[in-house]
Amino acid sequence: MQYDTIVIGGGHNGLAAATLLAKAGQSVLVLEKGAQPGGAVGVTRFKDGGSVPRYAHSTIALGRQEISDLGLSRHGLTGREAPLSTLLLSDDGRHVYLDGPSVAYADGAAHPDAAGFTALRDRLSRFADKLAPLVAAPPPQLEGGDWREIVGLAGLAFGIRRLGAVDSREFMRVLLSNVYDTVLDEMDDSPLAALLGVDAVLGGRQGPRAPGTVLTLLQRLRNGGNRIVPKGGMATVVDAFAEAASAAGVTIRCKTGVTAILTEDDRATGVETEEGERITCGRVLSSLDPMTTIRLTGIGQFDAEDVRRVRNIRTRGAAAKVNLSLSAMPSFTGVSDKQASGRILTAQGLGDLELTYNAVKYGEMPETPIMEIVLPGRRDAEMGATLSAIVQYVPYDLQGGWTDSAKKTLESKVLDRLEGFAPGLTASVQEAEVLTPVDIETETGAPGGHWHHGELIADQMLMLRPVPGMDRYEMPVSGMYLCGASTHPGGDVTGLPGCNAARQVLKGLKKRAAA
Amino acid sequence: MTEVSGKNGKAGRYDAIVVGAGHNGLTAGAYLAKAGLKTLIVEKNDYIGGAAVSRELHEGWTYSNCSYVCSLLRPEVARDLELGRHGLQVIPYEGGATFLNNGDHFGSYAEHNAFRREIQRHSPIDADAYDRYSRYIMRQCRFIRPLLLRTPPDPVSMRPKDLQEMMFLLKRFHDLGAREMADMLRFWTMSVGEFLDEFFESEVLKAHFAGSGIIGTGLGVYSPGTAYVLLHHYMGDVDGSIGAWGFTRGGMGGVSKALSLAFMEAGGEIVTGSGINHFLTENGQVSGVVLDNGDVYEASTVVSNMDVRRTFLEHVEEGELDGDFIKAVKRFKIRGSSGKLNIALDSLPDFPALPPNSILMQGDMHASESLDELERAYDDWKVGKWSEEPYFDMLIPSQIDPTLTHPGKHMMTVFVQYAPYELAGGESWNGPARQAFADTVINKIARHSPGFRDKIVHMEVRTPWDIENEVGLTEGNIFQGELTFDQLLFNRPVPGYAQYRSPIKGLYLCGSSAHPGGGVMAAPGANAAREVLSDMGRAAVGNGVMGRAA
């Protein structure tokens, strides 16, 4: 059978791209290596019946445009999900709780920096909203953009100017600044100060002192920076994307790995699967990273300079995932059940975050890892007494490699840290799953186990992502596109790279039809 | 010694007063005096030059005890002020080396073929990559050099001059073409470590080049933005040879001396020995300065060579400035990160790693052999410690410049990165810490130079705290402010005040806190003078300073 488009990889970005193309009337086939679609949004089921989101345990709120374009609301993603609350655990027991606009100590006492923090967060959110149009579209072209884009950019500049002279100057100053100074200029270091730092660096391999981390943060502060878990858990996210794709007429084939992208006369013509089947198509969209995509096509098909640039993309991940099955729901000292129902962070300050980052630079494990924890069972009793922790900073390239004993060491570091906040937790562990960046790479195909398929920092963002020349989703081989997290605007469960790529494909077709 | 005694006056009236006789203050002063203004420069120390000084701190030895090499000084300024005629002589050096712990070295030769052969010895692949690297760096230099003597536009302003300058910059950028534009955006935002990782495989070669990306900054080799700092050390030249570095004959004071001669020839006066107490202001307009010794000088134009924090937080009454401006000034990052050892040597030290009489010894020598070593040095600084394995930039100018000391004796300057301004635990620099810091450095040098310790006749140890106290640079930061993108161009030093002016009418900044930043460049001084003259409705002086006033 011949398809208009084949999408390699059934992660949410591949599915999003497929859906938009199918809705535009194309016949689309999605090929997924795993047993089910979902990529980085899977589920771990423990022996005793409990379950936990395998990788991503929350997502930033999806944009209204994507929800409506993909038709996700009919499949469980409404865009009206209540944002998660945030609990900041403090070594001195003075935990901080943030729920909606309220910022206070967990015991209800007023936090001295609440006003300063809120003002800063609001200002940065305002800035983030100004940048939002940049994220929801292909990155601006440095040269030869059409009039629509130029008008769009002028609108963006005008929008920034409309912040007023003081704020627009401030915008241009902080844009490439570092989150450490930006926050500590306004308040003393504390778990509260660390919050924006964690949001800026989580999943990446940068410390909060790295210039450019404010830009990374701004990307995540869109739509108020809220994080959500949809009703029915993270599984709903994948299901919604997959169902929306099917509803649009996309064919999804699982357990079908692709071994080659076929080309003829510098043009993609189909793919070859693990079983040796050749499927022809008009174009190929790859949600894999560019290096893997290039390898599948054959390196000889590409310019040496392009290959060099792609090889230079920094993709070493720095976040691990630890999933625990417990005999009872953990109880954090001084914290109510409600307060423990959102995300829970363990960073003690921006200084703590920066020092923890030091080790990863040399391929070492941190002394005291920093975690973002979610207790899925607090929101969905069916998931049982489980704990999901994103552990930062854990090197992909650990010295000596990720042996079983290294994984055990990481596990005990995590448990030691948890035990301090929730005495008795260690004894209640029934099963533990440690997913290092290497495991994440193996299982999901994310290069380096990196969330974003490539570090999300100024020199790998916008038109520099994944590399100059491929920033418009199009590969140098005609009929070949990228649509994964390695492209603009990067990772997190947003569906934006997929949507942008599909829109770019359609725009190209329209142009060709007109010509 | 370049001491200039002014006519220690008690009071006087001038067209313009410059506070601080650093190289930028002298430059601004010289341009103003040449434009016909009756100009006075006041200096707190009893010698001029700020951080560009030559001082005889041990009998028979002249030290360039602060800044120590020359390259960035804008040739346009040298021409306008005829610094050659006033005695400025820069002697290029032609080598450099990084010592390895295994007894080998990496040599850096100014001569291209020799350098290629040396790189080849460490990595044949890198020898090819080096040509690509040089071309890349040159392209960036070509882009940025002409911008140094231009006033940054205010992107928020709608004034024709700002719009025109914005268009100029955008056009210049756009003319590069898509691929080069992308390369430039990457270069400006990358870390020097990652930048070098893309080109080279040899650790020592990367470490050798990376030093320029961190010197004087509170950043590590893996901090984004340090690739640009690297450029800050490549965009200079000696006699038209771009990227070359040299020694000023007689020490770095030679620069200040030539500038001061140009200034005085144009009728300028210098008063040394008393710092400014405060600026006099009337209704938001500056009217003069009051010195610590009580002398009062009046002028409706005052140009401050001090850094932005010192100028506005210590010498302007708080009520004169609005809260937002003060906040922005306080937020401006000036972080002490480096120290210095100035050493009088009984004889030339031995470096067994180098061939005998090697030209490599005449230039900058280092002993950091990997990027990781450099990054760990930064990690120490972050927690308030000086680096256990410091990066140093070590030179012995007396090999080339015989005026510095007796024949056979030598003067060595060792710039050390990193040293924090505030030590962990509140320990004072003015105690045993200073010597312990020096010992750390000397021990590292001695690992590569047996018997080094015994050759030391005298040593001056300068910590960030000492540099702040003596020179007046806040935290001892050599750039008067971090060179990060949030503090460059129209953000330097304060958004909305990047055109050398301040909220106080008639009060200008001409130091390295202003665009384009530090290094003995004289660009901020020249740019500030141009703006002052423009505000007075006078024509700019000289053909070299082409940038238009904003």
CATH number, domain of A428, equals 3.90.660
Taking the C-alpha atoms of residue B339 and residue B391, their distance in angstroms, rounded to an integer, is 11
B546 pLDDT exceeds 80? no
- Angle CA(A289)–CA(A292)–CA(A296) in degrees, nearest 5? 135
Same domain, A196 and A111: yes
Q: Is residue A426 domain-shared with residue A457, that is, in the same domain?
A: no
The tokens of A435 are what?
Answer: 């997913």
Chain A's closest residue to B491, CA to CA, is: A173
pLDDT score recorded for residue A78: 86
The whole domain housing A247 covers 3-41+235-314+447-514
Which of B155, B179, B324 has its CB closest to that of A172? Answer: B155
Report whether pLDDT(B8) > 60: no
Give whole-number Cα distances, A172 to A128, B114, B327, B353, in Å: 12, 45, 17, 49
Q: Name the residue with higher pLDDT: A147 or B60.
A: B60
In chain B, domain spans: 11-52+67-89+249-331+483-535
* 3-class SS of residue A202: coil
* Residue B258 three-state SS: helix
By residue count, chain B amounts to 550
For residue A228, the SS3 value is strand
Taking the C-alpha atoms of residue B442 and residue B463, their distance in angstroms, rounded to an integer, is 14
Closest Cβ opposite residue B156 in set A168, A176, A457 = A168
Please identify which residue in the block is written with the tokens 């740019």. Answer: B527
> Residue B10: what pLDDT?
65
CA triplet B186, B199, B227: central angle to 5 degrees?
40
Strand-pair category, B11-13 with A386-392: unpaired
- A83, A467 in Cβ contact below 8 A? no
CA distance B88 to B281: 37
The CA-atom distances, in angstroms, between A60 and each of A121, A199, A220, A224, A227 are: 16, 11, 7, 10, 4
Same domain, A112 and A187: yes
pLDDT greater at residue A428 or residue A2 = A428
Question: Degrees (nearest 5) of the Cα angle A164, A170, A175?
Answer: 125
Across the interface, do A172 and B223 touch by the CB < 8 Å criterion?
no
DSSP structure class, residue A474: B
Give the total number of structural domains in chain A.
2
The first and second tokens of residue A377, run together, are 């069972």
Q: What is the pLDDT of residues A230-280, one digit of tens each?
A: 888 888 888 999 999 999 999 999 999 999 999 999 999 999 999 999 999
Q: Give the alpha-carbon dihedral of B327, B329, B332, B336, to 10 degrees.
A: -120
Mean pLDDT across B335-347: 97
- Predicted pLDDT of residue B5: 39
Cis before B68? omega within 30: no
A291 with A256: CB under 8 angstroms? no
Closest partner CB to A212 (pick from B177, B224, B375):
B224
Determine the residue of chain B that is closest to A308 in CA distance.
B198
Binning pLDDT at 50, 70 and 90, where does residue B7 land?
Answer: very low
CA atoms of B73 and B163, how far apart (whole Å): 29
Gap from B77 CA to chain A (nearest CA, Å): 30
What residue type is B282 in one-letter code? E
Question: Is B223 in contact with A210 (Cβ distance < 8 A)?
Answer: yes
Beta strands at B39-43 and B16-19: parallel, antiparallel or unpaired: parallel
Tens digit of each residue's pLDDT (9 = 90 or more) over A129-180:
999 888 888 998 888 777 877 888 888 888 888 899 889 999 999 999 999 9
Asked if B484 lies within 8 A of A144 by C-beta distance, the reply is no
**Model confidence at A340: pLDDT above 70:** yes
Residue A480 lies in a domain: yes
Are A285 and A323 members of one domain? no
Residue B548 has pLDDT above 60, yes or no: no
Mean pLDDT, residues B116-141: 94
What is the pLDDT confidence band of residue B67, given thresholds at 50, 70 and 90?
A: very high
**In a shared domain, residues A472 and A431:** no
Query: Is the peptide bond prior to B146 cis by the omega test (within 30 degrees of 0)?
Result: no
Q: Do B182 and A176 touch (CB under 8 A)?
A: no
Q: Please report residues of B whose CB lies closer than 8 A to that of A468.
A: 178-179, 182-183, 186
The bridge status of strand B276-282 relative to strand B285-291 is: antiparallel
Q: What is the mean pLDDT of chain B?
A: 93
Span A308-330, mean pLDDT?
Answer: 97
Note the pLDDT tens digit of each residue in B68-100.
998 889 999 999 999 999 999 999 999 999 999
* More confident of the two residues B325 and A154: B325
ω before B378 within 30° of 0 (cis)?
no
For residues A296 and A246, state if they share a domain: yes
Query: Taking 60 as the threshold, does the pLDDT of residue B2 lie above it?
Result: no
Residue A190 and residue A260 in one domain: no
**CA distance, residue A50 to nearest chain B CA (Å):** 42
pLDDT attached to residue A1: 65
* pLDDT average, residue stretch A396-417: 98
Q: Determine contact, residues B238/B92, Cβ cutoff 8 Å.
A: yes
d(CA B341, CA B417): 11
CB contact at 8 A, B500 and B531: yes
**pLDDT tens digits, A83-134:** 999 999 999 999 999 999 999 999 999 999 999 999 999 999 999 999 988 8
Q: Are residues A100 and A189 in the same domain?
A: yes
Split at pLDDT 50, 70, 90, the class of B543 is: low
For residues A220 and A239, membership in a common domain is answered with no
> In this complex, which of B181, B376, B495 lies closest to A173 when CB atoms are compared?
B495
Q: Are residues A472 and A486 in the same domain?
A: yes
Name the residue facing B382 among A211, A212, A354 (closest C-beta).
A354
- Give how far A172 is from chain B: nearest CA, Å: 8
Q: What pLDDT score was predicted for residue B306?
A: 98
Report how far residue B260's alpha carbon sits from residue B254's, in angstroms, rounded to the nearest whole number. 10
Distance CA B241, CA B257 (A): 24
Q: Return the SS3 of A309.
A: helix
Please give the average per-residue pLDDT across A398-409, as a whole number. 98
| A166 with B174: Cβ contact below 8 A | no
Supply A247's token pair.
Answer: 């509803």
Pick the CATH number of B11-52+67-89+249-331+483-535 from 3.40.190.10, 3.50.50.60, 3.90.1150.10, 3.40.630.10: 3.50.50.60
The rounded mean pLDDT for chain A is 94
Determine which helix (DSSP H) or strand (DSSP E) holds B40, and give its type and residue range. Answer: strand B39-43
* One domain, residues A119 and A246: no
pLDDT digits (tens, 9 = 90+) for B212-268: 999 999 999 999 999 988 887 788 888 888 888 999 999 999 999 999 999 999 999
- Say what the pLDDT of residue A40 is: 64
Residue A155 buriedness (CB in 10 A; 0-12 / 13-18 / 19+):
exposed
Instruction: Report the CATH number at residue A245.
Output: 3.50.50.60
Cα dist. A133→A127, A129, A300, B392 in Å? Answer: 12, 8, 37, 46
**Would you tell me how many other CB atoms lie within 10 Å of the CB of residue B350?**
15
DSSP character at residue B55: E
Over range A466-489, report the average pLDDT.
95
The residue of chain B with its CA nearest to that of A164 is: B156
The owner of tokens 């665009």 is B515
B174: which chain A residues are within 8 Å (Cβ-Cβ)? Answer: 142-143
What is the CA angle A233-A239-A245, rounded to 5?
A: 150
Q: Is residue A57 part of a domain?
A: no
Q: How far apart are the first and last CA of chain A?
A: 29
pLDDT above 90: residue A374? yes
- The percent of residues in chain A predicted with pLDDT above 70, rounded, is 99
Non-local (6+) Cβ contacts of B369 within 8 A are B98, B99, B100, B101, B203, B204, B207
What is the pLDDT, as a whole number, of residue B550?
A: 52
Q: Encoding tokens for residue B261? A: 């001669």
Q: Please report the pLDDT score of residue B3 as a whole number.
A: 36
pLDDT tens across B34-58, in order?
999 999 999 999 999 999 999 999 9
User: With contacts defined as CB-CB under 8 Å, which chain B residues touch A469?
Assistant: 179, 182
Please give the Cα distance from B35 to A214 (Å, whole number): 45
Q: Are A121 and A199 in contact (CB under 8 A)?
A: no
SS3 content of chain B, % helix, strand, coil (to 5): 40, 20, 45
The separation between the first and the last C-alpha atoms of chain B, rounded to the nearest angstrom, is 38
Alpha-carbon gap, residue B20 to B51, rounded angstroms = 11
Q: Which chain A residue shows the shortest CA-CA distance from B379?
A: A358
Asked whether residue A177 falls in the same domain as residue A122, the answer is yes
Nearest to B434 by CA among B466, B403, B405: B466
